[in-house]
């Protein structure tokens, strides 16, 4: 299966909500300037350590008439940024992200859950460190608009998900460094 970025999936979901008039699949590409994956986890049971991935790519393909589509995103694990360069080197290492051996993490999905016309959830599979696990992105908000400068439809929103890093083989520092990782995803997809 060819992997397409997560941004496309989210953009497609927005297009679905904007209307079901199209008769063929439409593709949306994630806008790298307006797409970010942030993470947070507990640090020694007291504070929350936060950071982000600066390089995320993706696309979404949607067949509006059928209400189906797929999404794929790719996250460059080496682009992790906590704001502390020494910590970033540790995070890229084998104990956490294993960026040399696994330079990309992927999210692919084809299951969307709506409440009426409001997108509630995107369900798929997250692959990281050579391990794939089910993952659901919960929609906090989602909308579409026509961008005057691009003269194209842009769909985007905010999503959140929770995973256990131990499920992907990252157990270093447990229980002092939290196992639960919260992902906060802000995306915008541009219609192609």
Check: pTM over 0.85? Answer yes or no. no
pLDDT digits (tens, 9 = 90+) for 118-146: 888 999 999 999 999 999 999 999 888 99
pLDDT band at residue 114 under the 50/70/90 scheme: confident
Answer with the residue of higher pLDDT: 74 or 9.
Answer: 74
pLDDT per residue as tens digits for the range 62-101: 765 565 678 899 999 999 999 999 999 999 999 999 999 9
pLDDT (tens digit per residue) in 30-61: 999 999 999 999 988 889 999 999 999 999 87
- Residue ranges per structural domain of the chain: 6-191
The answer to whether domain 6-191 has CATH 3.50.50.60 is no
One DSSP character per residue, the chain reads -----HHHHHHHHHHHHH-S--SSEEEEEE-TTS-EEEEEEEETTTEEEEEEES-EEEEEEEETTTTEEEEEEEEEGGGEE-S-HHHHHHHHSTTTT-TTT--EEEEEEEEEEEETTEEEEEEEEEEETTEEEEEEEEEEEEEEEEETTTTEEEEEEEEEEEEEGGGGT--TTTTTB-SEEEEEEEEEEEE-
């Amino acid at each position: 299966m060819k992997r397409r970025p997560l941004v496309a999936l989210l953009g497609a979901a927005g297009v679905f909500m904007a209307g079901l008039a199209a008769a063929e699949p439409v593709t949306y590409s994630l806008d790298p300037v307006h797409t970010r994956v942030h993470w947070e986890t507990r640090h020694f049971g007291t504070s929350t350590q936060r950071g982000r991935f600066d390089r995320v790519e993706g696309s979404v393909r949607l067949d509006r008439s059928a209400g189906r589509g797929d999404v794929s995103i790719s996250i460059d694990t080496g682009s992790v940024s906590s704001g502390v360069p020494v910590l970033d080197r540790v995070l890229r290492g084998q104990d956490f992200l294993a960026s040399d051996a696994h330079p990309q993490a992927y999210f692919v999905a084809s299951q969307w859950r709506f409440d009426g016309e409001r997108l509630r959830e995107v369900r798929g599979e997250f692959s990281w460190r050579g391990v794939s696990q089910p993952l659901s992105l919960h929609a906090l908000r989602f909308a579409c608009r026509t961008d005057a400068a691009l003269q194209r439809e842009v769909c985007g929103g905010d999503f959140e998900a929770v995973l256990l890093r131990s499920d992907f083989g990252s157990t270093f520092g447990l229980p002092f460094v939290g196992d639960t990782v919260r992902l906060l995803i802000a995306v915008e997809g541009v219609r192609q």
